[in-house]
Chain A
Amino acid sequence: MPIDKMPPDRPLLVVENLCVSFRTEGGVVPAVSGVSFSLAQREILGVVGESGSGKSQTLLAILGLISSPNVVVTGSVRFLGQELLGLKRRALDAIRGRQIGMIFQDPMTALTPVHTIGDQIIEQIRAHERVSRAAARKRAVDLLDAVGLPSPDNAVDRYPHQLSGGMRQRAVIAMALSCNPALLIADEPTTALDVTVQAQILELIGRLRNEFGSAVILVTHDLGVVAEVADRVLVMYAGRVVEEGSKGQLFREPLHPYAWGLFGSIPPMQGPRPARLTAIPGSPPKLSQMPQGCAFGPRCTFRHEACAAQPALGGAGGHRSACFLPRDGRQDLRPTLAGRAVPA
């Protein structure tokens, strides 16, 4: 069903209980466990978490891009009501690239080195639409122009190695957008880029929603990026969603001790300068040695008996967290930076 004929309140993407596990010599290792979320049309969802928290694997699983025979993906991913998991390759290819575009993390390796970026964009357009090569090329030039590549007429015939990292990332974005996808999935699109280019790319992603009407899933480990563009945020830890809420809710009043730790690691812009930023003690659990119960438990200051069980994601007002601490008064437990301020 074309996106413009959809009822506007219908969610674009519904992910339910998505699990990704790897079969290894040491047994089955879970990378993503029971991730559920839904995405409205034109919504920008930020997914944050540190490396190894399962963000990228979640995205790859949604698009069916995990090809290793040693990976088991279970759960449900419905895009516009259609189940994507287990879909035949041909049916999946009709959706990938056309209705769902993907931007990858590393622009240096994401483009085939032996084809011009124009050819790679044209290839995608012509895989999904019956247009002439000349028309597809014209659109490729327009797209490259739209993503802010200087002299797109010239750039279209260039090979990836002839472009800088920022230009390549723009080319990747142009390619992802080439069929006006309803959903754009961006896996750390700015991580490999320097800060000024980052800002331009983020601005571009924000503009996409306005100009192309796309919804965006933006994976990042950079909270600043989330604050810039996201509407809603998922916080992931050790393969699970530990907190979910609107950007305002999450930044104003984070509920999960892990989220407290994340926000505590951002230097405050106002007030006295803290002597040290808070760091979360310990390090994330190895996927092969996941602790019993709450995966954050071993690093959590507020661990108690209840934490031996796996907390469920719960809460009211669209702001949910997976923690056993009582919701009322939980904010009072949150460590503040003020107590450790440097005397002026």
Chain B
Amino acid sequence: MLTALISRLGQMVLVMFGISVVAFLIFFATPGADPSARIAGRNASQETLAQVRHDFGLDRPLPVRYALMMKRLFISRDLTSFVNRGQKVVPTVLEAIPITLSLVLGAAVFWVLGGLIVGVVAGATRGTWLDRTLMILSLIGVSIPVFWLGEVANLVTQSRWHDSWLFSWVPPLGYIPFTEDPWGWFKALVIPWFTLATLYIGLYGRVLRASIIETMQEDFIRTARAKGIGERRVLLHHGLRTSLVAFVTMFGLDFGALVGGGALLTEVVFGLQGVGKLTYGALQTLDLPMILATVIYASFFVVMANFIVDVVFVFIDPRVRDAH
């Protein structure tokens, strides 16, 4: 068990090393992407360019530049932005992390609960009007673009009905740190949570329903029914429990991707200065150090989420436990 864990951690490190190399090569070694021209500004003289190159270490061989970059990213942590000279990249990313994590964690709670309820209820009442209604609602949820839903939510809660009793509690757009004001944090995030979770509730509900319906055809469900334990227990303890594998796999991937910057649209719409928005801004200005930092940060979360999924599998599926 322990050796499996360690080897898995080793794999994670290797994967992340690979990602950092690829990201570095894409952004720093692509022909035509000479960053010194951007840093020095328009029509800079050759001497200025050379000076800039030397300052940023851009005149050194590629492997050395990679090593230098990693050193400044992870060890001295003094990598500075190409665009906003003097802005340190690592602290900026670290500041954005709690915002994105707050957004995605809260949304994840909603979409896991919502997905479970929708999937189980629809799976158990298959073919009835309740099932059909839930499936139509899920389809609508999956189809609504998140930025549109967010803008509509803003329009309703920030503008049109903001002064009515319904939404007067909604604070202005932006993030309130949990440590400063937990209740304010909740109020500021609850609408973004629902907005982000809508798509996933629909998606997870539909996937879980299909998985439960499939599982409920299995022989062991017949055995469970023959035991006389009641349909609710058959459904939850045997049907749902066995169907969770697909659910957990999806959750790991989606969660990792969202924390890694995939929640960009929600962040932009609700004015949350999270990692997604940071990456987006950096890409617009081709701020290479910032891009590198956010890409590596994102890859870390995706890899980490996969690792956690693997660990959770060990608990929910005993067959995986023995496969090591």
Query: Does A233 sit at the interface, judged by CB under 8 A?
Result: no
Which of B226-243 touch A at CB < 8 Å?
226-231, 233, 237-238, 241-242
Where chain B touches its partner, the secondary structure class is helix
A97 touches B226 (CB 8 A): yes
Instruction: Produce 1/0 per residue, B281-324, CB < 8 A to A.
Output: 00000000000000000000000000000000000111100100
Query: Does A82 sit at the interface, judged by CB under 8 A?
Result: no
Number of B interface residues in the complex (CB < 8 A): 24
Contact of A124 among B229, B242, B317 (CB under 8 A): B229
Contact of B242 among A67, A90, A97, A113 (CB under 8 A): A113
Q: How far is the CA of A159 from the CA of B316 in the complex (A)?
A: 12
Query: Does B222 sit at the interface, judged by CB under 8 A?
Result: yes
Contacts of A172 in B (CB 8 A): 223
Query: Does A106 sit at the interface, judged by CB under 8 A?
Result: yes
Instruction: Produce 1/0 per residue, B191-233, CB < 8 A to A.
Output: 0000000000000000000000000001110111111111101
A162 touches B226 (CB 8 A): no
Q: How large is the interface on A (under 10, 10 to 19, 20 to 34, 35 or more residues)?
A: 35 or more
Contacts of A115 in B (CB 8 A): 237-238, 241
Closest residue of A by beta carbon distance from B317: A114
How many A-B Cβ pairs are below 8 Å?
86
Contact of A93 among B218, B230, B242 (CB under 8 A): B230
Contact of A159 among B227, B228, B238, B318 (CB under 8 A): B318
Query: Does A1 sit at the interface, judged by CB under 8 A?
Result: no
Query: Does A111 sit at the interface, judged by CB under 8 A?
Result: yes
Q: How far is the CA of A114 from the CA of B241 in the complex (A)?
A: 8
Q: How far is the CA of A204 from the CA of B134 in the complex (A)?
A: 49
A111 touches B223 (CB 8 A): yes
Query: Does A112 sit at the interface, judged by CB under 8 A?
Result: yes
Query: Does A282 sit at the interface, judged by CB under 8 A?
Result: no
Known: A113-B242, A115-B238, A116-B318. 20 other contacts (CB 8 A): A90-B230, A93-B228, A96-B225, A104-B219, A106-B219, A109-B218, A110-B222, A111-B223, A112-B238, A113-B220, A114-B241, A114-B316, A114-B318, A115-B237, A123-B227, A123-B233, A123-B237, A124-B227, A127-B227, A175-B223
Contacts of B316 in A (CB 8 A): 114
Query: Does A138 sit at the interface, judged by CB under 8 A?
Result: no
Query: Does B31 sit at the interface, judged by CB under 8 A?
Result: no
Query: Does B127 sit at the interface, judged by CB under 8 A?
Result: yes
Contacts of A114 in B (CB 8 A): 241-242, 316-318
B228 touches A97 (CB 8 A): yes
Contacts of A94 in B (CB 8 A): 228
Q: How far is the CA of A92 from the CA of B227 in the complex (A)?
A: 10
Contacts of A69 in B (CB 8 A): 127
Q: How far is the CA of A236 from the CA of B191 in the complex (A)?
A: 65
Binding site for A on B (CB under 8 A): 127, 218-220, 222-231, 233, 237-238, 241-242, 316-319, 322
Of A67, A93, A98, A172, which is in contact with the most chain B CB atoms at under 10 Å from its CB?
A: A93
A127 touches B242 (CB 8 A): no
Q: How far is the CA of A343 from the CA of B219 in the complex (A)?
A: 50
Contacts of A96 in B (CB 8 A): 225-228
A109 touches B228 (CB 8 A): no
Contacts of B227 in A (CB 8 A): 96-97, 120, 123-124, 127, 175
Q: How far is the CA of A65 from the CA of B322 in the complex (A)?
A: 33
Query: Does A327 sit at the interface, judged by CB under 8 A?
Result: no
Minimum CB–CB distance from A21 to chain B (whole Å) comes to 20
Closest residue of B by beta carbon distance from A105: B219
Q: How far is the CA of A233 from the CA of B206 in the complex (A)?
A: 48
Contacts of A104 in B (CB 8 A): 219, 222-223, 226
Contacts of B231 in A (CB 8 A): 89
